[in-house]
Amino acid sequence: MNHLALLTDTPQSGDTHDTAYGLSAPISSLDGGLLVTSPTAADPRATIRALKDLGATHVWLCESVGALSPLLETGDWVVADDYIDGTRGQHYTYFNEKAGGYVQQVPPFDPASREALITTLGTLPSRRFKRGVYVCVSNTRLETPAEAAFWSRAGGHVVGRCLSPYLTLARELEIAVAVLAHVTREGGAAGESTAIEQYKSTIRQAWAVL
């Protein structure tokens, strides 16, 4: 049976789980068995490993992001089809202590999950975009205006802080991944985060489609 987990930028309560990589971030279980977590100081490998152990077959990132493209406005929704990883110094793989290991990142996101999200977003009155390049920066701070300009010139459309290394680690554990980004600010500026409750209806409908 398939099980869905959400990674979000708003702090979540819940239980931590002991893994070979230490304790995971808090993970909550909502009605219907939906798992929800958010990045913390916990080793990302522990959090993704715990989600896998709890039965997650899919991890979808639901995050408030900044607009890098002049075509995007606050309130828009973007189902990313590619990403740029601008982070460094994190645990990016489960293969560190092995002779080798490599997981193909093409396509970057699960096509079936993307199609389900796109289909569901088509019922919303808000503007929605079927593709876009997500830029991930350090999860310890927002990007500066200069960094936003740099990543825009590099081809980014939205900028966030939660994708890497969580979704790439999930790929190594054969978990399908996707991104549903909600534009809540301009790149290089502060803004309010979207509560996970505002994603629930869309996510449940998309999951039913999938």
**What pLDDT, on a 0 to 100 scale, did the predictor assign at position 69?**
98
Mean pLDDT, the chain, integer: 93
For residue 102, name the pLDDT band (cuts at 50, 70, 90): low
**What pLDDT, on a 0 to 100 scale, did the predictor assign at position 98?**
59
Separation between Cα atoms, residue 164 and residue 84, nearest integer Å: 9
**What pLDDT, on a 0 to 100 scale, did the predictor assign at position 100?**
55
Q: Are 78 and 128 in contact (CB under 8 A)?
A: yes
Q: Where are the alpha helices (DSSP H) in the chain?
A: 44-53, 111-121, 145-153, 166-172, 197-209
CATH 3.30.70.1350 holds for 4-209: no
Instruction: Kindly calculate the radius of gyration of the chain based on its CA atoms and give it in whole angstroms.
Output: 16
Q: Is pLDDT at 106 greater than 90 in this prediction?
A: no
Q: Are 21 and 165 in contact (CB under 8 A)?
A: no
145 cis-preceded (ω within 30 degrees of 0) = no
Give per-residue pLDDT as tens, 5-25: 999 999 999 999 999 999 999
At residue 152's C-alpha, the angle toward residues 106 and 181, to 5°, is: 60
Q: What is the mean pLDDT of residues 133-143?
A: 93
Show the tokens assigned to 11: 């702090």
Task: Please name the residues in contact with 15: beta carbons below 8 A apart, sequence gap of 6 or more.
Answer: 26, 27, 28
Give per-residue pLDDT as tens, 46-96: 999 999 999 999 999 999 999 999 999 999 999 999 999 999 988 899 987
What are the sequence ranges of the domains in the chain? Answer: 4-209
